[in-house]
Homo-oligomer: A and B are copies of this chain.
Amino acid sequence: MPTNITALLEPASVAVIGASADPRKIGGRPIDYLRRFGFPGRIIGVNPARREVQGTACVPDIAEAGAIDLAILATPLEGAEPAVLACLKAGVKGLILFTAGYAEVGEDGKKAQQRLADAAREAGAAMLGPNCLGTLNVHARLPATFATTLEGLDPRPGWFSYVGQSGALGAYWLEMAHNAGLGIAKWITVGNEAQVTGADAIAYLADDAQTRIIATYIEDIKAPDEFAAAAHEAKQAGKTIIAIKSGRSPAGSRAAAAHTASQAGEAGWYNDFLNECGVLQVSSITEMIDTARLAGAGERQFGAARIGMVTVSGGAGVLVCDTAADHGLAMAELTQSDRDALREFLPFYAAAANPVDVTGAVVSDRGLLPRAVEILGRTAGCDVILLFFGGMASIAGDLVAAARGATAYGKPVVVVWMAGPDAALAEITAAGIPVFTDIPPAVAAIARLRISSPSGVSS
Check if B314 sits within 8 Å of A151, measured CB to CB.
Answer: no
Whether B258 and A437, one on each chain, are in contact in the complex, defined by CB atoms closer than 8 angstroms, is: no
A40 to chain B, nearest CB (A): 27
Q: Please tell me which one of the listed residues B166, B251, B313 contacts residue A315 in the complex, with CB atoms under 8 A apart.
A: B166
Q: A105-B348, A286-B438 known; A256 and B318 CB under 8 Å?
A: yes
Determine whether A100 belongs to the interface, using a CB cutoff of 8 Å to chain B: yes
Stoichiometry, as copies per complex, reads 2
Interface range for A: 35 or more
User: Within the complex, which residue of B323, B359, B390 is in contact with A283, where a contact is CB–CB below 8 Å?
Assistant: B323
A172, B391: Cβ atoms closer than 8 Å: yes
Given contacts A176-B419, A284-B319, A316-B169, contact A249 B324 (CB under 8 A): yes
In the complex, how many angstroms separate the beta carbon of A183 from the nearest chain B beta carbon?
Answer: 17
Residues on the B chain within 8 Å of A321, using CB: 247, 249, 251-252, 254-255
Report yes or no: B459 in contact with A101, Cβ–Cβ below 8 A: no
A264: chain B residues within 8 A (beta carbon): 318
Within 8 A of B (CB), among A313-371: 313-319, 321-326, 330-331, 348-351, 353, 355, 357, 359-360, 363
Partner of A101, one of B175, B256, B325, B349: B349
A255 CB, nearest partner CB in chain B, Å: 5
Name which residue of chain B comes closest to A287, CB basis. Answer: B440
* A168 touches which of B104, B217, B312, B394 (Cβ 8 Å): B312
CB of B324 within 8 A of CB of A419, answer: no
User: Is A249 within 8 A of B314, CB to CB?
Assistant: no
With a cutoff of 8 Å between Cβ atoms, the chain B residues found around residue A176 in the complex are 418-419
Q: With an 8 A cutoff between CB atoms, is A3 at the interface? A: no
Q: How far is the CA of A255 from the CA of B394 in the complex (A)?
A: 27
Q: Is A55 an interface residue (CB 8 A)?
A: no
When the two chains form their complex, are residues B353 and A315 in contact, meaning their CB atoms are under 8 A apart? no
A287 to B439, CA, bound (A): 11
Complex interface residues of chain A between 212 and 241 (CB less than 8 A to chain B): 217, 219
Is A391 touching B171 in the complex (CB atoms < 8 A)? yes
Knowing that A246-B319, A259-B315 are A-B contacts, what are 9 other residue pairs whose CB atoms are under 8 Å apart, sorted by A's residue number? A249-B322, A249-B325, A251-B322, A256-B318, A258-B353, A259-B318, A283-B440, A284-B440, A286-B438
Closest 5 CB pairs of A and B: A166-B315, A259-B314, A249-B325, A258-B351, A252-B321
